Amino acid sequence: MRCISNMDYKKGLQPVIGSNPRILILGTLPGDESLRKQEYYGNPRNMFWKVMSGILEEPAPMQYAEKVEYLKRHGIALWDVLNAADREGSLDSNIRNEEFNDIEGLITGHPSIEVIATNGGKAEKSFRKYLRRHPSLTGIRICCCTSTSSMSLCSGWTLERLIEQWREIF
């Protein structure tokens, strides 16, 4: 039985994945603004698209459909560790009753993936929990990156530092 109202039940987005991705970036679960827009990293305060622009040395497009193609062209796939969870608001720290995505199935269907990068501490923690149940994924290089959330700026991170750290996934 659920103890949290259905208004707090959040269901994630479908993966963004091209034909031959090399890198899979895993978030935790999209925030409310991203879910409202049905776009990964749809909150304008999130620095994900700025980080990608800095790494790829090419400005990210403005329209979401073009952003998706931009990532695919560079061999980058996006998804989340969690398919759904109970969460009040958008903070990862509020996540309860998590339901995992089938990351193993995605990897099996896309053997070109060489690197998995987690976006933030909760994504890393949730993914490590997932890995304990799916040990076959341990042969893939895993990079745990600082969150691109605007909360990182409050912790002393700068856009430049994030870009440098994230560059390691390439």
Q: Any idea which residues carry the catalytic annotation?
A: 46
β-bridge mates for residue 25, sequence order:
78, 117
> Any idea which residue has 């304990």 for tokens?
132
Dist. CA 142–CA 157, nearest whole Å:
21
AA identity, residue 27: G
Dist. CA 47–CA 150, nearest whole Å:
7
Dist. CA 107–CA 129, nearest whole Å:
17
Dist. CA 58–CA 4, nearest whole Å:
43
Question: How is residue 28 written in tokens?
Answer: 């935790």
